[in-house]
Chain A
């Protein structure tokens, strides 16, 4: 079956890298003048060193204007809920890596309900379920049950777990799954192999084709991104993320997309980032993505400091997490010893919401309704009934 892999294999990293490096002032200006409907060629120019040096303020102004027009003066808030830190992969940048001697935990349904109560009391309506990659401890059945339960309490349930089969995604969508985040981490095959040492995650292609499986399954939203710090040439890495987005958007036209910009944070492992993505570079990335795609959700996590988060807000951010705990049970059950990475913005959701208001934004807690999924639930129960009826008809005939 066709997937992004074909396009990926036919796109040369070296060519893209030099195209970005060699972009001229004219290229950047032409991308800016087209008010952003500038295509991948324009995106390459906006990522270029010359754009970063000479056009950053202009890019930021345009990005702000485009974001305002499409999204208005609102920021959506969500919270991650870590269900498990079990992991069968060895990755040199992650706190959950198999080799790390940390206590492992997978939440029971009762514990999930405790976490739910804690998050609901803080006002959250959108929740993102996060796990390591352990198909035994966190099976599709486990996820199905968790999503079914959480849909009773939250308006919107998304997840960031190991890549699954298309049929698994279809099953989870029936339970009420809205969106799946699956970051490629890096689109540079060599660098990917260096950082993903053991386990299923070493399979670059399987991960790369996940978004296609999600698109075919009919998911509402797919989240993409690179983990900045893994690959030296962050400009080319993010170009491939944009190439991926562009491909997916045209093919799965009923799906919406988000892009995240995580930078490696301190954690219980040993690796320090290969390359520090500077704040200036992060600003350039945000601007380039917004100008390239006016409708893209741009998400910022608590990995970033309070001061920086506030500065990045008007540039194009549409979605934020707040008061995050990155360990299973972190909101209600456990202490912080099991976390995936330490967060930087430790303010409570109430404080973040206050900050947003001061900055002239309405914090939006609810921008979906779990009942939107009831139709599919209804249909699946109806089709199950039909199946039962058909099989009993069959029995009568036989």
Chain B
């Protein structure tokens, strides 16, 4: 029942799956294809710097079933807003989509997103008709500003990209989710299905996973595992989790006298 009514909607488009999958780091196009299938993902990111749409065979694009999966080109590799805008337009032309995962990391070491440039590019690209999903820090104010700038969803990080550390930014994600009027997709740092579940239980609209699937010794089974975890976490969120108490309250040492 949940699946039928509970769709993720971004820019008017509905998705059954709340798991986005990244396509870097895979051992081969064949394994990528199988892992995406097993994950049941309907939204798959592709780095424009690796894509080669004019080539005879593209090592990523040719392995994705575009009838069932939306390709979300990303701007990985750009260092400022101008470069990002340029690559976005190139992606629109080359892949025929106005959907875009905007990522601007001037720091090639930890790939930290530049909040200022991301906001500037989101504003510009939204005006230009793009459906912009910006990758950003788990900064609640920034996420509101991105929303106002026209972002179709926000993609705050759980922890440094590729780190598998999980939701180190959990407290800020909680605030972002509470305040958002657009879908919140937790991106980066999710290293295990349990962490994806946790994000979904908190009320994230979706999660994006790449390294944890691609680098797993069995990416296909891991893709399936994440699909299950995302579903379970979402269901738990919808059902409503019980409160967590940090200590037991068997006795009432301070107020017991009232009933005695």
Contact = CB atoms under 8 A, between A and B. Distances in A.
B163 to A, nearest CB: 8
Contacts of A69: 162-164, 211, 215
B27 interface: yes
Contact of B77 (A254, A360, A368): A368
A257 to B, nearest CB: 8
A366 B50 contact: yes
Interface in A28-76: 68-74
Contacts of A372: 49, 77-78, 83, 86-87
B86 A374 contact: yes
B25 interface: yes
Contact of A73 (B27, B77, B87, B106): B27
B86 to A, nearest CB: 5
A361 B86 contact: no
B207 to A, nearest CB: 18
The residue in B25, B82, B87, B163 that gathers the most chain A C-beta atoms within 10 A of its C-beta is: B25
B75 to A, nearest CB: 9
B90 A371 contact: yes
Contact of A375 (B52, B77, B86): B86
Interface residues of B, number: 32
A364 B55 CA distance: 13
A103 to B, nearest CB: 37
A372 B29 CA distance: 25
Contacts of B230: none
Nearest to B210: A72
Interface string B21-59: 000111111000000000000000000111110010001
A361 B27 contact: yes
Could you say which interface size class chain A belongs to?
A: 20 to 34
Interface string B105-125: 011111000000000000000
A125 B58 CA distance: 13
A71 B215 CA distance: 9
Given A362-B59, A369-B49, A372-B77, A72 B87 contact: no
A71 B25 contact: yes
B48 A369 contact: yes
Contacts of B110: 295
Interface in B222-241: none
B214 interface: yes
B49 A72 contact: no
Given A254-B79, A369-B48, A375-B83, A362 B90 contact: no
A375 B121 CA distance: 14
Given A371-B86, A372-B78, A374-B86, A357 B49 contact: no
A270 B210 CA distance: 51
A379 B82 CA distance: 10
Contacts of B163: 69
Contacts of B51: 366, 369
B52 A72 contact: no
Given A362-B28, A368-B49, A369-B49, A254 B214 contact: no
Contacts of B48: 369
A178 to B, nearest CB: 10
A367 B28 contact: no
Nearest to A253: B107
B49 A367 contact: yes
Contacts of A72: 24-26, 211, 214-215
Contacts of A281: none
Given A69-B162, A70-B162, A72-B25, A371 B87 contact: yes
B49 A362 contact: no
A369 B90 contact: yes
A256 interface: yes
Nearest to A73: B27
A170 interface: no
Interface string A250-291: 000111100000000000000000000000000000000000
Contacts of B90: 369, 371
Given A72-B215, A253-B106, 5 more contacts: A72-B211, A362-B28, A366-B59, A369-B87, A375-B86
22 contacts: A70-B162, A72-B24, A74-B24, A125-B52, A155-B49, A155-B52, A254-B106, A254-B107, A254-B108, A256-B108, A295-B108, A362-B26, A362-B27, A366-B51, A368-B49, A369-B48, A369-B51, A371-B87, A371-B90, A372-B49, A375-B86, A379-B82
Interface of B: 24-29, 48-52, 55, 59, 77-79, 82-83, 86-87, 90, 106-110, 162-164, 211, 214-215
